[in-house]
Amino acid sequence: MKKVMLVDDEIVIRENIRECIDWEKEGLQYCGDASDGEIALPMIEEWRPDILITDIKMPFMDGIELSTIVRQRFPDTKIIILSGHDEFNYARTALRIGVDEYILKPASSADLISLLHSVSRKIDRERREKQKQVYSYDKLLGDLCGGLIASDDAEIAAAALSLPLLSTYYAAVIWDMRCADHSSPHDEAILLEAESIIEEIAKTHGDLWRYKRSRAETVWLVRGDKREAMASRLEQLQRLAESESTLPLAVSIGVGGIQERPEGIHKSFLEAEEDRNLRRLNSQNKNALWVAARETKASSFLDRSKFLEFLKIGTPPHSESFIGEISESLRGIDWNSSLYGYYVLKDLTLETLHEAKRVLRLPEVSESMIGELQQKIMEIRDWEQCRAYLRLLIDKFWIMRVEASNKYGDMIEKAKEFMRERFADDGLSLQDAANHVCVSSSHLSKVFSHETGQTFIEYLTQTRIRKAMELLQTTSEKTYEIAFQVGYNDSHYFSNLFKRTTGMTPRDFRRQGGSGGKCVEKEADEVD
């Protein structure tokens, strides 16, 4: 609903316009009136009307002077001039300084309503165009996957781009396609052919959104209303990527989990990245394992499924006997003359880390851990050292299992406390919080989303809005002053965000004593 304010020194005109229009029925909100431009200015600062109706001739600050100031300070506010028949030169001056419309006195309610609807449609068009300029298709999808946009803002940007964002389920899939032979003179042609296949898939499957993250990477965003259909579509995307292996391409795929809210897209994307990296390592190792097995004619076999099952249900008292049994098949390997044993253990290690991520719901498996374990494998020289490594791998999994429930609790609480202390800083960023807890911004983003179910931006916005609600109920400060105190320099943006979050404008929230609107999504004790 567009907010309308009236400025006219004649009380009869103010009362007639106020009373003769059913504002709510017309999709408008009458936020107030003033008898003079000088009186109106502070009210305009607080209310930020979308449409200002002002008389031209007023005793202290006339409509021309008021319109000039409003146009400079609030360029998004549309201005309608009320003009008498003998004031046409004034009206012409007003149009030159950027007034949007004028209407002659006496104005009928029907004419004024028609004009207000016309200006309202103009506001809607400009807002859509502004969102299109701010958010391109690729930038919106990129920010959704990166957790860089709150869900409410994403919905507005998606609507401006005519994208139906809202759905029941979401998931991200990453395709990484590179030329298998980097020295080939036909690399460019191969990649162009792969891109044409991707374009055709996007056209054929209209419910799939995709953007190019880099020359090699395509990110697909899958939406759907049924979980089973979503799982089927994810499998289909995986098969489609694999079918492109008919081209000389090295294809890596990452599939994220199915999430139930738009903000879950970020988490699914992070899971897809991790899945792709583990699959790539696993694929590379399996190729090497196959080559080594063929060269050494090895027949040794380690039962991976049995090992993974023991990780989940085994106990320390039984680990020694289990290791002895599972490693017996590797006893005959010559660790000094063959690489086969190393590839067997690398394969088992990657499967173990993948299982740890899946079962323990870890936000990531660090590259340093993978590197450390691979180094341990390369140091093995005999069967006893092989047994010792298997014992280490089991212990690592069990330690992760114990720590999984509270590993990140202190870090998350420290980051939240930092946000609660610094929310008034309009420049507060994810990097600031990451520096405070001594981790990288990408790591904090992954862990925060995984542990809280919210992105950094969503939690910060929630904290700010809760504080604003408190200030509106306990102080008499103006809306723009409260906006500044909770970290928003643009009070118009703050008011829109407040309404999207609570269901009420700041002014209505204060009037109703905080009742009647929807609550902030989660209360402090629930979030913390």
Among 334, 433, 330, which Cα is nearest to 390's? 330
Residues 358 and 434 in one domain: no
Q: Cβ distance 437 to 444 under 8 Å?
A: yes
Q: Tell me, what's the pLDDT at 284? A: 62
Residues 367 and 415 in one domain: no
Q: Cβ distance 464 to 488 under 8 Å?
A: yes
265, containing H or E segment: helix 264-296
What residues contact 40, with CB distance under 8 A and at least 6 apart? 5, 7, 34, 54, 61, 66
- Number of structural domains, the chain? 4
Residues 219 and 234 in one domain: yes
Q: What's the whole-number mean pLDDT along residues 78-90?
A: 75
Instruction: Decide which of 207, 235, 261 is a domain's last residue.
Output: 261
Q: Is 301 exposed, middle or buried (0-12, 13-18, 19+ CB in 10 A)?
A: exposed
Residues 195 and 225 in one domain: yes
Residue 297: pLDDT over 50 = no
Residue 202: pLDDT over 90 = no
Q: What's the whole-number mean pLDDT along residues 321-331?
A: 88
Range of 48-62, 80-94, 194-208 with top mean pLDDT: 48-62
Residues 403 and 413 in one domain: no
How does residue 89 score in pLDDT terms, banded at 50, 70 and 90? low
Residues 20 and 121 in one domain: yes
Q: Tell me, what's the pLDDT at 265? A: 92
Place of tokens 């050494």: 296
Residues 56 and 119 in one domain: yes
Q: Tell me, what's the pLDDT at 137? A: 85
Residues 91 and 154 in one domain: no
- Strand segments (E) across 371-418: none
272 occurs within a structural domain: no
Residues 432 and 479 in one domain: yes
Q: Tell me, what's the pLDDT at 527? A: 33
Could you tell me the maximum CA-CA distance found in the chain, to the nearest angstrom?
107
Residues forming beta bridges with residue 7, ordered by sequence position:
34, 54
The dihedrals phi and psi of 6, each to the nearest 5 degrees, come to -120, 135
> Model-level pTM?
0.44
How many residues in the chain?
A: 528
How many C-beta atoms lie closer than 10 Å to residue 113's C-beta? 18
What are the distances in angstroms from CA 270 to CA 44, 145, 171, 172, 355? 44, 8, 10, 9, 16
Residue 497: pLDDT over 90 = no
Return the axis-axis angle of helices 491-502 and 151-160, rounded to nearest 10°. 100
Place of tokens 């076999």: 301
Residue 218: HSE in the Cβ half-sphere, 13 Å Cα cutoff: 22
What proportion of the chain, given as a percentage, has pLDDT over 90?
Answer: 18
Predicted confidence (pLDDT) per residue in 210-223, tens digit: 888 887 888 989 99
What residues contact 455, with CB distance under 8 A and at least 6 apart? 147, 150, 263, 266, 445, 448, 449
Residues of the domain holding 396:
298-407
Range of 26-30, 55-59, 60-64, 180-184 with top mean pLDDT: 26-30
How does residue 97 score in pLDDT terms, banded at 50, 70 and 90? confident
Where residue 121 falls (left for φ over 0; alpha for ψ -120 to 50; beta otherwise) is: alpha
Instruction: Decide which of 127, 146, 168 is a domain's last residue.
Output: 127
Q: Tell me, what's the pLDDT at 46? A: 86
Q: 312 or 295: which carries more pLDDT confidence?
A: 312
Predicted confidence (pLDDT) per residue in 463-474, tens digit: 999 999 999 989
Q: Cβ distance 78 to 51 under 8 Å?
A: yes
